[in-house]
Amino acid sequence: MDDAASPQERPSPVVAAQPVRDLVAARAEQAVLTESEQDEIAAGLRQVYEEFIALRMHYQFGIDEVLTKVEILRKEFEQMHDYSPIEHVRTRLKSVESLMDKALRTGGEMTVRAIRERIHDIAGIRITTSFVADAYWIADILASQGDLEVLTVKDYIAAPKPNGYRSLHLIVQVPVYLSTHVEQVPVELQIRTIAMDFWASTEHKLSYKYEKNLPPALREELDDAARVANELDARMERLRGEIRPQAAPGGGSGLFSGRPGSPA
């Protein structure tokens, strides 16, 4: 997940048009287009670009809503229970350029509605915990909140990706109350331990540097590092009872009942 995007002012037409021209040029390299076809695509993309400016505002509000919930939990844990499972929180909102690029790569209609249906990581929040069980615990508590709907769950902790990536992914939907209507906004939650986050960050940087074509020696090192990170989490989990021997306060959704590392 990239660093949180800072608030941006609405770009001027000249600035907004440049990414559109670049995207059209990239698409033109893949197919032979007439000048009128390129102009038609450019006009459509410019309209979508302007709609994305408003769309990003809604997703930023969605991030703010979920982030408030997370911060409330963290403060409650710290002040009332003398222990917080939340170590770090980061947010990310895809830029318009990144969103349009992914929309083109994934194919389909270039409308805001169609893009929202097929791209689910426009807004994201990453929560880092100390222990594996705390990752499930936080997800379970958030899922139990009445105004937050869990749309999908991908448990890469119980079933890591082939490259060794481990994390808990949830797409949650939160209502955003605007002046004229209520917007239901999906937000991606990534919840992982410090060890998982360190490995994922390193793997991402190396994959970016080598354009996802890692040399075999580096791939082997990363595979071994994933094993070590997993072993570290297992060892820390055994020590967790010394830090928080009591059962977690409060209830939960039961979403992860019986899963590895789920809270007591």
Q: How far is CA 191 from the centre of its chain?
A: 9
Residue partners of 256: CB distance under 8 A and separation at least 6: 136, 139, 140, 155, 262, 263
Catalytic choice (149, 188, 211, 231)? 188
Bridge partner residues of 190 (DSSP) = 126, 169
CB 96 within 8 A of CB 112: no
Residue 137 to residue 83: CA distance in whole angstroms: 13
Spell out the SS3 assignment of 130-157.
CCHHHHHHHHHHHHCCCCCEEEEEEECC
* Closest of 106, 121, 118 to residue 171, by C-alpha: 121
* Backbone region of residue 258 per phi and psi (left: phi > 0; alpha: psi in -120 to 50; beta: other values): left
HSE, side-chain direction, 13 A CA sphere, residue 251: 5
Residue 218 to residue 213: CA distance in whole angstroms: 10
* 101, two tokens: 């690029």
43 exposed, middle or buried (CB, 10 Å; 0-12, 13-18, 19+)?
Answer: exposed
Task: Report which residue type is found at 193.
Answer: T
Bridge partner residues of 171 (DSSP) = 152, 188
- Catalytic, 117? Answer no
Catalytic positions: 188
